[in-house]
């Protein structure tokens, strides 16, 4: 981000002794003569004016002032001895600087340079349109917006975590506590399917320059895409000025400009493979077969799916086991004898011969 200095403005300070308002570069109160204490901060007046005087500008750029270690008087960064008491100020405390005194956001008119609010549709001075495009979508929120803080604190999650741990261990226990019992295969059932896919038009959305080859653009809308340091084909300049406390009664006006880039967001249709039909086969016993599939023009075979069920009869009633493994399924011929382990929910968790 390119930062640019637009010069300096004079700040002010309020005397804690008599409440008089003093010009920032004034080091002792004009009304009662008390020196400005180190902890009394500078403020910005609405009508603060830019410093034009060369001598004042040199002071503004010289850095933060020092407070005399003996009498507390503010002295310029370049002084060696206190202007008030003559003491050596080498040991003095430097005023803090760098704080942001004020911030404002605006956009420059591309024609006349007038500063307009970022929300203004046209320049207040010359009427030039300031929007990147007439039907553009809402710009992103300015970065200077405070981030809302919720009332959430990490410790508030503790009871929830404890509850989840308890619930997990209970489920674990129920799943893995099992009873073993003899079982006989009473029936077996298989089902298999093969999908058929065809090229169909599907609707998708992308930036114009990212629409893939073959995509048919339906309609586009100008939308905010990104923020850049350089202007683009369809961009809107957004500038921020900050007034930065120099610690010497002045504030540097620092401008940062960026560009909101707007672009065409388009809906388009493109041909893509999609499931249009499913052929199925199913039956009893262990000899499963795949369904016959007929494929049309511009079609192809899609996913193949298989599912096998083994029904056991036990002293506890019927228990069903499901698998997708055909070679394993073939072991369970009707009438064969097994030992099965059943968990609390009735699910078969283990099978042995």
The first and second tokens of residue 68, run together, are: 């005399």
CA nearest neighbour of 173 among 348, 350, 349, 344: 344
81 binds Zn ion (CB under 5 A): no
84 binds Zn ion per the rule CB under 5 A = yes
Cα angle for residues 56, 57, 58 (degrees, 5° grid)? 90
Smallest distance, Å, CB 253 to Zn ion?
21
Q: Name the residue nearer to Zn ion (CB basis): 13 or 259.
A: 13
Nearest approach in angstroms of CB 33 to Zn ion is 7
Q: How far is CA 260 from the centre of its chain?
A: 17
Does position 31 interact with Zn ion (CB under 5 A)? The reply is yes
Per CB under 5 A, the segment of 17-25, 39-47, 265-273, 312-320 that binds Zn ion is 17-25
Q: Where are the alpha helices (DSSP H) in 126-206?
A: 158-176
| Residue 42 · residue 85 · CB < 8 Å | no
- Contacting residue, 63, 87, 231, 347, with Zn ion by CB under 5 A: 87
Provide the mask over 49-68, with x wherever binding to Zn ion is found by CB under 5 A and - wherever it is not: -------------------x
332, 320 in Cβ contact below 8 A? Answer: no
Beta bridge partners of 187: 311
Is residue 29 part of the contact set for Zn ion (CB under 5 A)?
yes
Cβ burial of 243 (10 Å; 0-12, 13-18, 19+) is buried
CB of 203 to Zn ion, least distance (A): 42
Q: With CB under 5 A as the contact rule, which of the stretches 8-16, 52-60, 271-279, 285-293 interacts with Zn ion?
A: 8-16
114 or 271, CB closer to Zn ion? 114
Q: Rounded distance, CA 323 to CA 312, Å?
A: 14
Contact window for Zn ion (CB under 5 A) among 16-24, 98-106, 252-260, 316-324: 16-24
Binding letters toward Zn ion, positions 126-155, x by CB under 5 A? x-x---------------------------
Total residues in contact with Zn ion, by rule CB under 5 A: 24
85 near Zn ion, rule: CB under 5 A: yes
Query: Contact, 215 vs 204, CB < 8 A?
Result: yes
Rounded to an integer, what distance in angstroms lies between the CA atom of residue 64 and that of residue 247? 4
Q: How far apart are CA 323 and CA 306, in angstroms?
A: 9
Residues that bind Zn ion (CB under 5 A): 15, 17-18, 20, 29, 31-32, 34, 68, 70-71, 73, 82, 84-85, 87, 109, 111-112, 114, 123, 125-126, 128
């Amino acid at each position: 981000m390119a930062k640019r200095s637009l010069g300096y403005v004079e700040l002010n300070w309020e005397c804690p002794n008599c409440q008089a308002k003093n010009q920032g570069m004034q080091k002792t109160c004009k009304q009662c003569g008390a020196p400005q204490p180190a902890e009394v901060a500078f403020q910005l007046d609405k009508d603060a004016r830019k410093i034009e005087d060369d001598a004042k500008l040199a002071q503004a750029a010289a850095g933060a002032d020092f407070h005399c270690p003996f009498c507390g008087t503010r002295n310029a960064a370049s002084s060696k001895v206190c202007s008030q008491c003559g003491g050596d100020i080498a040991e003095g405390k430097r005023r803090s600087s760098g704080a942001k005194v004020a911030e404002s956001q605006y956009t420059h008119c591309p024609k006349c340079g007038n500063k307009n609010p970022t929300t203004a549709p046209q320049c207040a001075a010359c009427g030039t349109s300031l929007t990147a495009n007439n039907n553009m979508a809402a710009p992103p929120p300015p970065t200077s917006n405070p981030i809302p803080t919720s009332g959430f604190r990490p410790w508030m999650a503790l009871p929830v975590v404890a509850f989840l741990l308890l619930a997990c261990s209970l489920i674990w226990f129920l799943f893995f506590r099992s009873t073993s019992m003899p079982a006989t295969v009473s029936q077996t059932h298989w089902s298999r399917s093969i999908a058929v896919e065809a090229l169909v038009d599907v609707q998708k959305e992308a930036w114009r320059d990212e629409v893939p080859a073959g995509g048919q653009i339906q309609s586009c809308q100008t939308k905010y895409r990104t923020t850049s340091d350089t202007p683009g084909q369809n961009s809107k300049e957004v500038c921020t000025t900050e007034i930065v406390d120099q610690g010497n009664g002045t504030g540097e006006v620092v401008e940062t400009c960026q560009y909101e880039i707007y672009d065409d967001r388009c809906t388009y249709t493109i041909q893509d493979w999609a499931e249009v039909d499913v052929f199925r086969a199913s039956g009893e016993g262990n000899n499963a077969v795949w369904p016959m599939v007929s494929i049309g023009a511009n079609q192809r075979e899609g996913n193949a799916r298989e599912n096998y069920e083994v029904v056991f009869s036990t002293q506890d009633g019927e228990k069903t086991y499901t698998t997708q493994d055909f070679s394993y399924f073939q072991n369970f011929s009707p009438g064969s004898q097994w030992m099965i382990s059943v968990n609390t929910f009735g699910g078969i968790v283990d099978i042995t011969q």
